[in-house]
């Protein structure tokens, strides 16, 4: 599905880089994206997982001394009205950096279809989280206009480098994510309510299933989406995991 026509006819370094497919893993908070990504990394040598930079949001560093100045994730949950725009700016900037990382040499030498797998993307930042915060009134209309302006500008400027060839949607009921969120116990998230996860679930569904989110990037509407039932305990049940891997391999080949 994700194979490109010039897959086996590489002639130079740019062709090598263009051979690498970029795929993001999307899904609600605590659905299991990191676990899924780690397991995926072990399952195929042509796949490279680039983790989400959440640690950076928990530890904002001063530009000059590089000392920790704050925990922006915590600030955003404590006072969303004040900090959502700042958080979404920071989150998307760190994501841009991540998505712009060149694929490692190992991947360029891969025989099959080399795949760079990202946890989330600049697209879920905008069409799930920032949009949700705007709809909740935590990002005001001026901030939303500014956000959309720089987001569109950067994505268009970087072009091919931040485009995706596929999306894996880990889909699970918000109640299931709530249970997993409780089990993992990230301190900043202790105030997160089921209602918030329900809203994020709806945003994912609108974007990836109903296709009713108004997307600024025309190409994004054509990106293939693989939907996996992440309510199943894929980490504990080898049968579930084996089935997932088959689906992912079919999707990548």
Q: Residues 102 to 121: which contact ligand DCP by CB under 6 A? A: 120
Q: How far is it, in rounded angstroms, from Cα 201 to Cα 55?
A: 23
Q: Residues 73 to 92: which contact ligand DCP by CB under 6 A? A: 73, 88, 91
Residue with tokens 């005001």: 140
Q: Rounded to a whole number, what is the distance in angstroms from the first to the last CA of the chain?
A: 6
Q: How far is it, in rounded angstroms, from Cα 108 to Cα 112?
A: 10
For ligand DCP, the binding residue among 19, 22, 33, 204 (CB under 6 A) is 33
Distances (CA, A) of 139 to 24, 77, 92, 153, 198: 25, 13, 15, 19, 19
Q: How far is it, in rounded angstroms, from Cα 110 to Cα 174?
A: 38
Q: Residues 181 to 240: which contact ligand DCP by CB under 6 A? A: 189
Q: Catalytic residues, which ones?
A: 119
Residue 188 has, within 13 A of its CA and on its CB side, a CA count of 17
By beta-carbon proximity to ligand DCP, the closer residue of 19 and 121 is 121
For ligand DCP, the binding residue among 20, 23, 29, 72 (CB under 6 A) is 29
Asked if 31 is part of the footprint of ligand DCP (rule: CB under 6 A), the reply reads: yes
Q: How far is it, in rounded angstroms, from Cα 73 to Cα 60?
A: 9
Stretch of 8-16, 30-38, 39-47, 215-223 contacting ligand DCP, by CB under 6 A? 30-38
Residue 111 neighbours by CB under 8 Å, 6+ apart:
46
By beta-carbon proximity to ligand DCP, the closer residue of 34 and 86 is 34
By beta-carbon proximity to ligand DCP, the closer residue of 115 and 172 is 172
Distances (CA, A) of 108 to 7, 12, 39: 11, 11, 21
By beta-carbon proximity to ligand DCP, the closer residue of 22 and 126 is 126
> What 3-state class would DSSP assign to 48?
strand
Stretch of 32-40, 42-50, 97-105, 143-151 contacting ligand DCP, by CB under 6 A? 32-40
User: What number of chain residues touch ligand DCP (CB under 6 A)?
Assistant: 16
Name the CA dihedral angle for 115, 31, 72, 58, rounded to a multiple of 10 degrees: -70
Angle between helix 33-43 and 238-252 (nearest 10): 70
Asked if 34 is part of the footprint of ligand DCP (rule: CB under 6 A), the reply reads: yes
Give the nearest distance from C-beta 239 to ligand DCP in angstroms. Answer: 21
Give the nearest distance from C-beta 250 to ligand DCP in angstroms. Answer: 23
Query: In what helix (H) or strand (E) does residue 116 lie, and over which residues does it extend?
Result: strand 115-119
Give the nearest distance from C-beta 182 to ligand DCP in angstroms. Answer: 12
Give the nearest distance from C-beta 252 to ligand DCP in angstroms. Answer: 20
Q: Residues 49 to 68: which contact ligand DCP by CB under 6 A? A: 52, 54
Where along the sequence are the contacts to ligand DCP (CB under 6 A)? Answer: 27, 29-34, 52, 54, 73, 88, 91, 120, 125, 129, 189
């Amino acid at each position: 599905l994700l194979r490109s026509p010039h897959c086996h006819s590489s002639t130079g370094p740019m062709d090598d880089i263009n051979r690498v497919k970029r795929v993001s893993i999307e899904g609600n908070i605590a659905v299991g994206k990191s676990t899924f990504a780690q397991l995926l990394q072990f399952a195929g040598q042509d796949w490279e997982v680039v983790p989400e930079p959440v640690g950076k949001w928990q530890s904002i560093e001063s530009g000059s001394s590089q000392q920790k100045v704050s925990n922006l994730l915590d600030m955003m949950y404590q006072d969303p009205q004040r900090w959502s725009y700042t958080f979404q700016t920071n989150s998307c900037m760190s994501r841009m950096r991540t998505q712009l990382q060149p694929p490692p040499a190992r991947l360029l030498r891969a025989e099959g279809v080399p795949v760079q797998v990202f946890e989330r993307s600049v697209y879920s930042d905008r069409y799930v989280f920032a949009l949700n915060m705007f709809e909740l009134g935590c990002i005001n209309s001026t901030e939303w206009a500014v956000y959309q302006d720089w987001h569109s500008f950067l994505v268009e400027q970087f072009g091919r480098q931040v485009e995706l060839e596929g999306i894996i949607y880990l889909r699970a009921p918000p109640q299931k994510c709530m249970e997993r969120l409780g089990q993992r116990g990230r301190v900043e998230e202790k105030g997160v309510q089921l209602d918030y996860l329900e809203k994020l679930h709806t945003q994912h569904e609108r974007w990836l299933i109903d296709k009713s989110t108004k997307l600024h990037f025309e190409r994004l509407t054509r990106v293939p989406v693989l939907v996996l039932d992440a309510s199943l305990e894929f980490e504990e049940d080898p049968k579930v995991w084996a089935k997932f891997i088959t689906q992912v391999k079919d999707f990548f080949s």
